[in-house]
Each structure stands twice: as C-alpha cells, then as structure tokens.
Amino acid sequence: MDTPSFPPQQQHPPGSTAAMVPVPDHGEESYRGSGRLGGIRALVTGGDSGIGRAVAIAFAREGADVAISYLPEEAEDAEDTATRVREEGRRVVLLPGDITDRDTAQSLPQRVVDELGSLDVLVNNAGFQMARGDGIESITPDRLDRVLRTNLYALFWITQAAVPLMKRGSSIVNCTSIQAYDPSPTLLDYAATKAAINNVTANLATMLGPKGIRVNAVAPGPIWTPLQPATQPVEKVESFGKDTPLGRAGQPAEVAPAFVFLASPADASYVTGSVLGVTGGKPVF
C-alpha cells in the first residue's frame, strides 16, 4: 500500500469522513468476503465511520447482519455505512444515541435482539480521545469524564446487558490500542482506558469461558479515521503514523480482517483472552 500524505487539516469532534483528505479506505472496493460469518448478528458500537465502518462492511460481506450504534450527530456517516451493508443483501439496524448515558448503552443489546432475532457478536469499538493540550493539567474534568464514559463505562454497560442474551459460541471483540503498550503523553487518559480494556478482556475471557463465550481484543496502531483530524494537533496529523516500522498510518480496511477472524466461530474457536495487534510493526507485549 502506498504511503499516504495527510495535508494540514482539523475538524471538531466527532469528525466527518467526507471532510477528510484523503478519505479513509474502509474496504469498500477491496474487501472480499468468504462466508465466514454466515447467519451471525452483530452489534458494532461506533459503527458509523473509521474502524467501525470497516468492520460493518467486512461483517456484511462475510454474511452477517449488522446493528451499528453512533452519536446522533454522526447520522450522515452512519447512513453511508448502512447503505454499504444493504448493498451486500444484509440487514442493518441503526441505533443512534450517546452511549455515555447508561440507559442508552444498556438498551442496545436488547434492541439488536428485537430487530435481528439474536446477538451473536458484540464489537465494543466506540472510543474517544483528545490529544490537544500539554500536560496532565490539560485534562479537564469534562474531558476525563467523556473519555472514561465512552471508552470504559460504556463497554461495561453494554457488555453487562449483552451477556445474558448471548448463547454458547458467541463472542465479544473489544477495541484496545497500541496506546495501552506505548502511551503518548498527550493521550494519558485515553491510554489508561485502553490498558484497562486489555485487563477487562482477559478477565472476561476467564469469566465467560464456561458459558462458551469467547472474549478477545484488537489493538490498532495509528489508523486514519475521523478521530485524528478531530482530536489531534495539525502538526501531529501531518506526520501521523510515520513513526511505525512500516513508516505509515494504517487504513480502517487493514484492521477489519482482525475483527472478522476473532468473531468467526470456526476460525477462532479456540482463541479467547487474546489481543491481536494491527500496529504497523509496533509491539503489543
């Protein structure tokens, strides 16, 4: 894959796919399915854009019906994702709402079952970061609250509501980050939540193993998503991903196959409690 060039650009959170230069590759033209998720119904949080959109597209091309949750202000991106899922002949459920609200978060799994008939795969992908500002003093109470509630609280709330609805053979795939292993000082709060997600993944795998529910995580490296121009300083956007061994940022389409593998009841039937790194060469250990 060619090394992309990211011209100076900034957006306001949560960011828009259409406004990005270049527009990310979610696998719209490249991903080829092979039926690995036939008959599966999945919930993807943050499924409107970025990694979530790529996962939704890949899941649909693998035969899954998909529900996506997203913030109401991300409706345009969510509709674009839904169109891609429908083009594959799969059902899609749109679930707008702010998952930092406990009631909203805990309502999602039952809504998926009501609309699709079951919940077989939960992808806890939604996340928030803010890398503008220097030092711990730049982490305001509002910022800390938003990061913790989006990245960690919502994962707990949604998973708590999902597990009683999931049958043996189901799986949960969390989205952690290279930041859990190689944290950036400007992402102190975000990195802490991702390290916590690693721990939660391992603990849930032990807890839910007797129920036949697998729990794993994907740790992306620097991936070109709307979160980058919406939360990074301009100078960081221009050099984004160049510090990896591969010398470039990744695209959402390059992360989605890891989620497909971990969600597959055949390919990953004996994989649980694992973190799969998609980092451009940065180690996840």
The single residue of 70, 181, 190, 270 carrying the catalytic annotation is 190
19, 237 in Cβ contact below 8 A?
Answer: no
Q: Which among 93, 96, 122, 100 is positioned nearest to 109, based on CA atoms?
A: 122
Q: Which residues pair with 68 in a beta bridge?
A: 44, 94
For residues 49 and 185, what is the distance between their CA atoms, to the nearest angstrom?
Answer: 26
Residue 181 designated active-site: no
81, 47 in Cβ contact below 8 A?
Answer: yes
Q: How many beta carbons lie within 10 A of that of residue 235, not counting itself? A: 9
Question: Which phi and psi angles does 53 have, rounded to 5°?
Answer: -65, -45
76, 18 in Cβ contact below 8 A?
Answer: yes
The residue with tokens 């391992």 is 202
**Active-site annotation, residues:** 190
